[in-house]
Amino acid sequence: MKQAAVVDNIQLKERWLLKYIGCTVIGVAFSPGGQMIASVGSNCLVRLWDAETGRDWAQFAGRDVTFSPDGKLLASIDRNGKAQLWEVSRGQGLRQLDGPDMAQVVFSPDGRRVAGLSTGSLQDRVLVWNVNGRQETQRMHGLAYGLHNVAFSPDGRLLAGGSKTVRLWRIDTGEIVQELKGHTDLIETIAFSPDGRRVASGSRDKTVRLWDTATGQEMACLTGHNGEVHSVAFAPGGGLLASGSWDTTIRLWDAYTGQHLTTFSSHRGYVHSVAFSPNGQWLVSGSWDKTVRLWPLGMSDDGWEQCARVWRNQLVREWRQVHRCEVCGEGIGPWYRWRGSKRCRAHRD
């Protein structure tokens, strides 16, 4: 089955590698090298697939999965809610991380630490472990009930988590450095841009929002989904953003302006997870329709970003016709307005 989406003069072929795994797919991830895809089923089974052939390579018990940066380890949550490390090459358990029942785990960018989200109490907790020593090294402060997702910044200095607001913590102290407010319902997913300057969040309020991590200001509110947004992912180059929703669609966005680029609509159930390949040429998605689908994007990440720049330039031209500097009347771009400025570069304070 093939469909075609036309974006300006570019035809994007939507092809997919379809695997029935007998249950709802609640998570997907590419290995750092791009050779493997991990999928997580609602039956607490993690499967590793060969990304080239689609061959089922290994299976083990778990209900969340994340690869270490070197691709040698996997972290998951076992059937009892305990964080577990696995050796990818052998598909065998390596060690269990001491702590309470967990809902999510994620590796730090240097692979030396694992952050875990503990739920089920009156106050959710985020814990950080040393991978080699297994001991807990930090707890994040100022948490509220309803935390659904955590993510490390690319430099490993910050950790983001969301409930109805996105909170950014310093890893070394556990203190909150930013609280990003704007969503009107619980936040289901968070992702940092590759340069760490932006955070994307998806919510039950059906929106995706882009935030400036330095100032804490909302840069854009991405609307168009007709259901809860349960997964967001930045492409490796940072210019593209993908979002998966309970409206059964996947949307691609310009990650700088929030401009909608195209929509994938082959899934027949809630889209619960999306992830880009390391080279940006593939997108994998997992859905409640019991499938894992592999989408070739038709061009490299750089190619998509060049197309995104065309749309972005068009948007800026249109914006400048309407929004002008209050001092000299020169047209100003949308990034100044997002930061609350009504003046051009020459007349900014």
Looking at residue 242, its pLDDT comes to 96
Give, for all 349 residues of the chain, the pLDDT tens digit.
Answer: 333 333 333 333 444 455 555 678 888 889 998 888 888 888 888 888 888 777 777 888 777 888 999 999 888 888 777 888 888 887 777 787 776 677 788 888 998 888 877 765 545 567 777 777 566 656 665 555 556 788 999 998 998 988 888 989 888 888 889 999 999 999 999 999 999 999 999 999 999 999 999 999 999 999 999 999 999 999 998 989 999 999 999 999 999 888 898 888 888 889 999 999 998 888 889 888 888 888 877 554 455 455 445 445 554 454 455 566 777 776 655 444 444 556 666 666 5
What's the angle, vertex CA 232, arms to CA 226 and CA 235, rounded to 5?
130
Cα dihedral value 287, 288, 290, 291, nearest 10:
-10
- Continuous H helices in the chain: 301-322, 334-338
Show me where the domains of the chain are located: 14-300, 301-349
Locus of tokens 């289901």:
188
Looking at residue 225, its pLDDT comes to 96
Cβ-proximal residues to 109 (8 Å cutoff; 6+ apart), any chain: 69, 152, 153, 154, 155, 156
Looking at residue 319, its pLDDT comes to 47
CA neighbours closer than 13 Å in the CB half-sphere of residue 165: 13
The domain 14-300 is placed in CATH, from the list 3.10.180.10, 2.130.10.10, 2.40.10.10, 3.90.1150.10, at: 2.130.10.10
Looking at residue 50, its pLDDT comes to 82
Locus of tokens 């390949």:
277
Q: What pTM was computed for the model?
A: 0.76
- Which residues are paired to 64 by β-bridges? none
